[in-house]
Structure 1
Amino acid sequence: MGVPMARRLVEAGHQVTTWRRGGGVPVEAAVEGADLVITVLSDPAAVREVLTAALPGLRRDATVVEMSTIGPEAVRELRDLLPASVGLVDAPVLGSVGPAAAGTLTVLAGGDVSGCRDVLSAFGAVRELGPLGTGAAMKLAVMSALVPAQVLLAETFAYGETHGVDRDALADVLAATPLGGLAERLREPSEETRFALALAAKDLGLAAWEGGTLAAAARRRLQEAQAAGLGDRDLTAVAAYLRPGAEPAARRSRAVPLNPPTVPATNGFYSHAVRVGDMLYVSGQAAFDEQGRLVGEGSMTAQAEHVFQCAQRVLADQGATFEDVVFIRTYLTDMDDRVELGQVRRKYITGTPPASTTVEVSRLFMPGLLLEMDLIVALPATLAATLPTSR
């Protein structure tokens, strides 16, 4: 998306400097002297990493326009990260590579756009939605409808073929319904990646909320397809994944690594959880924040609260709660802290307690950590039923 959007700015007469991650040029050098800095990146972690590195080069009166899909919470974190004198606008877009090249995107803008309205109009129609964060929230709200609808249609085509319904005939019938446009996209998966399947799964992860059961089920389908090696393919590849007779290796193994965006990012050497069939294995959760800094130094209560909240978010990512936990293993650097730990634990484990093991260790992976906790979870039956069976 960034390449055709940069071309639109050049064609509109703006002086543009482009920068890409891994390109070798320090980002602080790329943004130096710029009135306007636009970010178009994959996820919240990438945006935080790039803008943190760019801080030394940012002009004090510059404006940052964040056009990735990262959600309102991440936008608020960016506001805290940037100097107060630096303006911030959230402006994710609706549309794919084609509309980006043609300048027909829909720009969903939150915050004060008075200093960048003309620039944003080079990309397409600008919708000014309100205070900072409203553009990011609107984008996720829209994706919560559009992406699950396409997954539903992929399942619809799979159902039809399983029961002898001609694929083209089904698409023709659907063409006369409100779903006609999306059905046509899924008639045959696109060879061109207009919107990557992995990014669609990421968007639904950012949009996860307690009532979003349909979106959560759609995301699980996409995560399965991603584990089958289709993450870089167009979203419509989910139709090929679900097509009767398809047998990707990952469908047989059904091991899906999970890294919810609501939990601080890992270091890349492990996943926060792995789902295998109807079981979820959660890695050790510890008290550190998005920047890798220790949370609650010296306080078992503060660290335990953070750990249980992170675990709760991992569970919620898969539609589970602490009632679905079957085993907890806790590592403490001082067994005398178990009373404080127990007080926090009882706030979250309120029903029949799961099997548990608690051990004392000499130290954990980060200085200052007082505990680490991992879980084994039996996913609710309604969720397990959505997983494909082995063939």
Structure 2
Amino acid sequence: MIAFLGLGRMGAPMARRLVGAGHKVTVWNRTPTELPGATVAESPAQAVADAELIVTMLSDPAAVEEVVRAAAPGLRPGSVLVEMSTIGPEAVAKVRDLLPETVALVDAPVLGSVRPAAEGTLAVFAGGAPEDVARVRDVLTVFGAVREAGPLGAGAALKLAVMSAMVPAQVMIAETLAYADGLGVDRTLLLDVLAGTPLAGLVERVRPAIESGPPETGYALGLAAKDMWLSTEGPGAVQTIAAAARDRLAAAERAGMGSRDITAIFDAALARPTQAPAVRKINPASVPATNGRYSHATRTGDLLFVSGQVALDENGEVVGEGDMGRQSEFILANLGRILADQGSSFDRVLHVRTFLTDMTRLGEYAGVRGRYFTGEPPASTTVEVPRLFQPGLLIEIEVVAVAS
């Protein structure tokens, strides 16, 4: 019996192929999902209880580790776990540590997207002891062509190496199209020319997405960003081009494209860059003027950064010399005016940083502060300093807030 853990875009068609090949299959998914012909388990441990072979096909290293931990108590001695996610060799080693010694492990990530998964034409990169790979080879051929990569972790390493070439190449073509658009080069003409170069295979693969619009998601952009992170963040990683592609993909993911097919990177590259938000200098007339060497606040977008405020009046004289409570009151009142000038308030403060010349007087300041910050308190830092920039000053307060 085979247990299949993870029925995402890739996992579901792969599990269906096992059922279609006549295997007895039990499936588990974080979101309960029916699979015709398969038994649905309520937990990973239940799914693997009677399984001789277990397949994990999950989104990232953390998900694999979580599911393997949950499954471990139910694993049978003598069974073998085939880890088919893209998680990298370090994560494979962690999975090995989570398994009982009596359970074998093969890492066998796949190259291909949803359609090859459904058709059984994936490339499977198998790593592990030869006898363990031999035990599972017939099952792996249900998914596609098996290439034995070497010892445990070698399949995961080979997958990352392949992706660190393929994914940046797609990002490069996207940037090339954006560059050509800026030069006025006809897009179809450019693709035709590139199709006559060593890039032909990749160009023909992405051409439909460029000319006909977004395809159904086969390889999600968010997963591509994760794969590039794995390729560039490991020990000794030196792939500067892959790192640039990773950053491009991460930006597109933050822009809401993570669930779309990787070809959405073409839309991201061709989009007109948005103008960087302006930085405004804020000096409200309702508070004493600065000495001209700083502004009371700066604002970019809806973020307001307020300079450290002290108890100095319009003549530069200390207000409430020696009186912590009075200086605190003066400063917080001025902070309130600056916040109000930008459509903000104390309940929209994200962080407050306070500098005191005598921490034993913290209670005096706290009593005043409590009248201004009346709800859930913001993030806060309070430090003692030997002195402030002018004699007689006991306290300085700066804040970061959200403005309207």
Cα contact 1:19–1:27 (8 A) shared by 2: yes
Cα contact 1:154–1:186 (8 A) shared by 2: no
**What is residue 214 of structure 2 aligned with on the other side?**
190
**What is residue 46 of structure 1 aligned with on the other side?**
63
Q: Can you list the C-alpha shifts for 1:121-178, whole angstroms capped at 9, x where unaligned?
A: 1111100111000000000000000000000000000001111011111111111111
Alignment pair present for 1:204 and 2:221: no
Q: Can you list the C-alpha shifts for 1:174-226, whole angstroms capped at 9, x where unaligned?
A: 11111122223333153210100010010011111541100000000001100
Could you tell me how far 1:55 is from its partner in structure 2? 1.1
For 2:78, give the aligned amino acid.
D
Cα contact 1:161–1:244 (8 A) shared by 2: no
**What is residue 302 of structure 1 aligned with on the other side?**
none
The structure, 1 or 2, with the larger RCO (C-alpha pairs under 8 Å, 6+ apart) is: 1
Counterpart Cα distance in 2 of 1:211 and 1:78: 25
Alignment pair present for 1:175 and 2:175: no
Alignment pair present for 1:95 and 2:112: yes
1:161 paired residue among 176, 181, 189: 181
Could you tell me how far 1:358 is from its partner in structure 2? 11
Alignment pair present for 1:236 and 2:240: no
Counterpart Cα distance in 2 of 1:210 and 1:109: 22
Could you tell me how far 1:244 is from its partner in structure 2? 4.4
For 2:63, give the aligned amino acid.
A
Counterpart Cα distance in 1 of 2:162 and 2:149: 14
Cα contact 2:225–2:250 (8 A) shared by 1: yes
**% same residue:** 61
**What is residue 226 of structure 1 aligned with on the other side?**
253
Q: Can you list the C-alpha shifts for 1:28-86, whole angstroms capped at 9, x where unaligned?
A: 11111100110000000000000100111111211100000000000011111100100
**What is residue 380 of structure 1 aligned with on the other side?**
none
Could you tell me how far 1:10 is from its partner in structure 2? 1.2
Number of residue pairs aligned between Structure 1 and Structure 2? 256
**What is residue 160 of structure 2 aligned with on the other side?**
140
SS in 2 for 1:55: helix
Could you tell me how far 1:252 is from its partner in structure 2? 5.8
Q: 1:132 to 1:359 in 2, by over 3 A?
A: farther
Counterpart Cα distance in 1 of 2:73 and 2:256: 38
Cα contact 2:231–2:237 (8 A) shared by 1: no
Residues 32-111 of structure 1: matches in 2 within 5 Å? Answer: 32-111=49-128
Could you tell me how far 1:243 is from its partner in structure 2? 0.7
Counterpart Cα distance in 2 of 1:252 and 1:15: 57
1:216 paired residue among 243, 247, 270: 243
Q: 1:118 to 1:168 in 2, by over 3 A?
A: same
Cα contact 2:120–2:143 (8 A) shared by 1: yes
CA RMSD of aligned residues (A): 2.2
Counterpart Cα distance in 2 of 1:225 and 1:204: 13
Cα contact 2:72–2:98 (8 A) shared by 1: no
